[in-house]
Chain A
Amino acid sequence: MTAPNGDSAAAPPAQRQKFDAAAARRVLGEVLRSELANTKYEADEVAQLGKRVGETINRRLSGEMALEQYKYVTSVSIFQNSGQGARMGTSAIWDPDADAVVQDMFVSDSIKCVAVVFAVCVY
């Protein structure tokens, strides 16, 4: 969907500018491992930890992917690893060609962390 002069400001991104989910997943994994290795679950520090992980992920994605049209929503869930049951799921109304969700998990003796990134394209 391009205007006559070829300018596609109002269209979904061209193929080469699309969000690269595989690359994003690698970034996610790297951030989780570097921030969470050797951490223990501490109730008064977990909020800061989650915030740091989320902001680092967003910073790296926006810096490395360098996709102007994308907004990033990162949800970081940190659980004390003690055998409790949990279930997480998401649903989205968006543009499946342009938008993507990427997730990764980090597990240690002390914590389980799930990071989910929603990459949403704006036109």
Chain B
Amino acid sequence: MDPQQQQQQTTATATPSQKQLSKDEVHKFLKSAVDLAIGSGEYHHRAVSELQNNITQYAIKKLGAVKPASTKCVVTCTVVQNTDAGFHITNALHWDDSCDTVVTYNFQNKAMNIVLTAYLITT
């Protein structure tokens, strides 16, 4: 039996930041941004701007660190006081479905609704 010659193959291995992010990963990051920032989870008009800012910053910093260099990232956070009033947020996307993604994380408690959306656009 001839000994198998080991073929030395050089493959271009992608570093973690070159890999396309999966929707599940992005969803996890968005959820952790809300968990980190939420604090007591109460809606106070004077504190909501800081809450929204913190969530957005946590999310964009995390995504910015792990996304591929050729991807642009936009994060939108909406915090709405939880009353009987209704609201709805829609996305209309004029882009390339094969390489661009949108991921949304919804959070709701007695006091508020938080809708956190990340758009990842490949250039």
Contact = CB atoms under 8 A, between A and B. Distances in A.
Interface of A: 41, 43, 46-47, 50-51, 53-55, 57-58, 61-62, 71-95, 99, 116, 118, 120-123
B76 A121 contact: no
What's the interface size class on B, roughly?
35 or more
Max chain B CB contacts within 10 Å: which of A61, A79, A89, A116? Answer: A89
Interface in B65-111: 67, 72-81, 83-96, 100, 102
B45 interface: yes
Contact of B87 (A51, A74, A80, A92): A80
A89 B53 contact: yes
Given A82-B83, A88-B78, A90-B75, A72 B95 contact: yes
Contacts of B64: 93
A89 B56 contact: yes
A90 B56 contact: yes
B74 A50 contact: no
B43 A85 contact: yes
Contacts, number: 149
Nearest to B72: A94
B123 A122 contact: yes
A75 B94 contact: no
Given A57-B92, A72-B95, A94 B74 contact: yes
A58 B123 CA distance: 19
A74 B92 contact: yes
Given A76-B89, A90-B56, A91-B57, A71 B78 contact: no
B83 A75 contact: no
3 closest Cβ pairs, A-B complex: A54-B92, A50-B90, A71-B95
B121 interface: yes
Given A71-B95, A84-B83, A87-B48, 4 more contacts: A50-B89, A71-B121, A74-B92, A87-B49
Contacts of A54: 90-92
Contacts of B92: 51, 53-55, 57-58, 72-76
A73 B121 contact: yes
B119 A72 contact: no
B37 interface: no
